[in-house]
Each structure stands twice: as C-alpha cells, then as structure tokens.
C-alpha cells in the first residue's frame, strides 16, 4: 500500500490532531514507521487494527544507522578518540552528549543508560565518522550561517531558541542552574552578561546569549540567540544540529521543573 492508497482509507478530516496535522503527511509518516495509525483520533480501534495489517512500514532511520555503522567499523578508535574528545574503554569509544555518557563499540553499537532513539544513534554515528578532523575555528556563527542552515533557520528559532527564551523569562536562575548541571559555564566577551557556553558533544560547543526584557520599556521583549563554532557543520548536518538542540531544550525543561 502506498501513501495515496492509505490516504484514501483515512477519514480525510485534516483535523490537525495527529502528528502529521493533515491526512497525507500522516499517511507518509505511518509508512515511514514514524507514526502509528492509532494516533488518528477519527479511526476506530478496529479500523486502525485492520489497516495496520495492510501496511508495510520501512524505517529509513534504522537503515541509515546500519549504513553509518559500516563506516564507523572502518575506524581505529585509539587513533580518532582524541580528535573526537572521547575516551577509549575496553576497546570502545566513550563520550558525553548533553551530559549523558554513551559507549560505542567497534561494531558501531551504542549503549547508554535509558532510552536510545534512532535519531540519537544517527547523530552520534555521524559525529564519530568524521574522526574529529575539523579543528575548532574559534569563530561563532548563527545557525543560519552554517551550511544549509538558512533552510532550517525558521524551525530552529521556533523549536529551540523561542522555547528556551520563554524558560529564561519564567525563571532565569532555574535555567542557569539547569545549564550548570549539563556542564555549561558562563562565557565572557559577548554583548550580554547572560551568556553560557555548553559542549553539546565534546568538540561541538555552543553559546547561549540571553537579553532580558527591559522593565522600563515594554516595547523591547527579551531575546535569545544560540551560536555555534563555525566548524559545527563539519561534524553534523543542520538536521542533526536541530535535533541536538531540541534535546538540549528538553533536558533543560526537565531540570527546570524538577
């Protein structure tokens, strides 16, 4: 069953209540293995079960993981560890991402405490396959200045910068404490006193800049900007960077509310 055939069997209400928001994107998402038919609020349990038996999903993310694992297997971990900012333990790479430790075996398998999504596997394997060949540039740039960043700049602002700004507006001290728990440190030489540097992955730092709203001038709202070392796009594409920063914001939200 292709996407059009599945679409014709859906209620076609385009209600906006499913992950795809409208029926055709939802059908494509189901076929990619990213959504479940049960997430359609207008399909009965019986109809969803009947359709599920007719659908063959293909998770391209797992296929990409296998391809990346093949590339990682060609690497010598002792030779690339230093360039990646990783350690070597019992023949495996050990590195931290968003404050969490990951162990990568020489077959490309990844172990960590807690849930491990296909997206996180892809992100880590992409990073490792570069073998740490890109030295830091010591030049800070915005997301849109990275390779193809302009194509995802609006999504980056909506999904990363804007939610983080709202958290700062609610309680700047709580966000600062959460960042400290994730290993962030205050940063100088920026046009605001509210600046933090955080190593997302060992060789991929980011700087978070926050300008509070002016209590004496209601016309100027608070603003926030996230900057990257210009070498960031040598390690990860902008899709992976977007996912990585979404993860950072979610981690801060969890620590913020704890």
What would be the CATH architecture of the domain defined by 3-52? Orthogonal Bundle (1.10)
Most confident of 26-40, 93-107, 120-134: 93-107
Q: Round to whole Å and give the CA distance between 67 and 58.
A: 15
CATH number for the segment(s) 140-257: 3.30.310
Residue 207, pLDDT score: 97
Residue 58, pLDDT score: 61
- Would you list the domain boundaries of the chain? 3-52, 60-129, 140-257
pLDDT tens, position by position, 5-55: 888 899 999 998 888 888 988 888 888 777 889 999 999 999 999 998 888
Average pLDDT of 201-221?
A: 87
- Full strand arrangement of the beta sheet holding 87-89: 87-89, 92-97, 100-104, 110-111
What predicted TM-score, i.e. pTM, was given to this entire model? 0.76
Give the model's confidence band at 117: pLDDT under 50 very low, under 70 low, under 90 confident, else very high: confident
pLDDT tens, position by position, 161-185: 999 999 999 999 999 999 999 999 9
Mean pLDDT for all residues in the chain: 91
Residue 70, pLDDT score: 95
Residue 25, pLDDT score: 85
Q: Does the pLDDT value for residue 137 go beyond 70?
A: yes
Inter-residue long-range contacts of 179-188, CB under 8 Å, 24+ positions, other chains counted? 179/208, 179/252, 181/99, 181/255, 182/98, 182/99, 182/248, 182/251, 182/252, 182/255, 183/96, 183/99, 184/208
Q: Round to whole Å and give the CA distance between 26 and 43.
A: 13
């Amino acid at each position: 069953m292709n996407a059009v055939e599945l679409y014709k069997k859906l209620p076609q209400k385009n209600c906006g209540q499913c992950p795809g928001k409208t029926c055709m994107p939802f059908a494509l998402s189901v076929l990619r293995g990213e959504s479940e038919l049960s997430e359609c609020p207008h399909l009965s349990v019986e109809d969803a079960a009947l359709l599920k038996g007719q659908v063959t999903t293909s998770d391209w993310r797992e296929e990409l993981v296998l391809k990346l694992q093949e590339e990682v297997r060609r690497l010598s971990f002792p030779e690339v560890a230093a360039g990646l900012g990783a350690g070597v333990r019992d023949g495996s790479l050990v590195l931290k991402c968003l404050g969490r430790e990951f162990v990568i075996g020489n077959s490309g398998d990844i172990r960590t405490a807690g849930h491990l999504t296909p997206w996180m596997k892809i992100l880590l394997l992409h990073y490792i396959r570069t073998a740490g060949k890109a030295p830091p540039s010591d030049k800070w740039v915005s997301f849109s200045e990275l390779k193809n960043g302009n194509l995802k700049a609006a999504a980056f602002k909506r999904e990363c910068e804007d939610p983080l700004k709202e958290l700062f507006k609610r309680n700047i001290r709580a966000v600062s404490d959460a960042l400290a728990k994730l290993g962030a440190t205050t940063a100088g030489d920026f046009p605001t006193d509210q600046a933090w540097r955080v190593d997302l992955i060992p060789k991929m730092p980011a700087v978070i800049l926050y300008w509070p709203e002016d209590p004496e001038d209601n016309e100027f709202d608070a603003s926030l900007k996230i900057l990257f070392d210009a070498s960031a796009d040598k390690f990860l594409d902008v899709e992976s960077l977007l996912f990585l920063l979404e993860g950072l914001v979610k981690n801060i939200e969890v620590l913020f509310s704890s």
